[in-house]
């Protein structure tokens, strides 16, 4: 008769729990709320928002320039003439409008 020892059940349970925890933490690191996929989505959204912010900043700079050019301290007559023509529809008597 040979005396074979069966592996202890505790070793299997230990490795099963270790494998389950490793799998869980790997999944959480990749697809969890703070995982790699979420980080990529957040970075893409941040890039889109930065582009939108840059566009808005350029619009603000343009509006500030136009406001300064029409202010009391500095009056750009060409801009004033352009605004009067586009907003009011003002024309001089010697002009012809072609649409």
Average pLDDT over residues 68-92: 79
Dihedral over alpha carbons 76, 78, 83, 86 (to 10 degrees): -170
- Which residue in 38, 62, 40, 42 sits closest to 50, CA to CA? 42
pLDDT at 53 over 60: yes
92 vs 77: CA distance, rounded Å: 15
Which pLDDT score, from 0 to 100, does residue 20 have? Answer: 97
pLDDT of residue 66: 85
Q: Look over the chain and give the mean of its residue pLDDT values, rounded to a whole number.
A: 86
pLDDT tens for residues 62-73?
999 888 888 778
Q: Which residue, among 99, 80, 63, 74, has the nearest Cα to 90 in the 3D structure?
A: 80
Report the predicted TM-score, pTM, of the whole model to 2 decimal places. 0.55
Structure tokens at 21: 């925890």
């Amino acid at each position: 008769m040979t005396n074979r020892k069966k592996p202890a059940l505790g070793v299997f349970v230990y490795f099963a729990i270790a494998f389950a925890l490793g799998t869980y933490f790997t999944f959480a690191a990749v697809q969890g709320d703070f995982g790699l996929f979420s980080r990529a989505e957040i970075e893409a959204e941040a890039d889109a928002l930065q582009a939108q912010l840059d566009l808005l900043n350029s619009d603000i700079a343009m509006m500030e320039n136009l406001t300064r050019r029409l202010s009391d301290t500095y009056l750009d007559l060409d801009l004033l003439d352009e605004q009067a023509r586009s907003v009011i529809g003002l024309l001089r008597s010697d002009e012809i409008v072609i649409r």
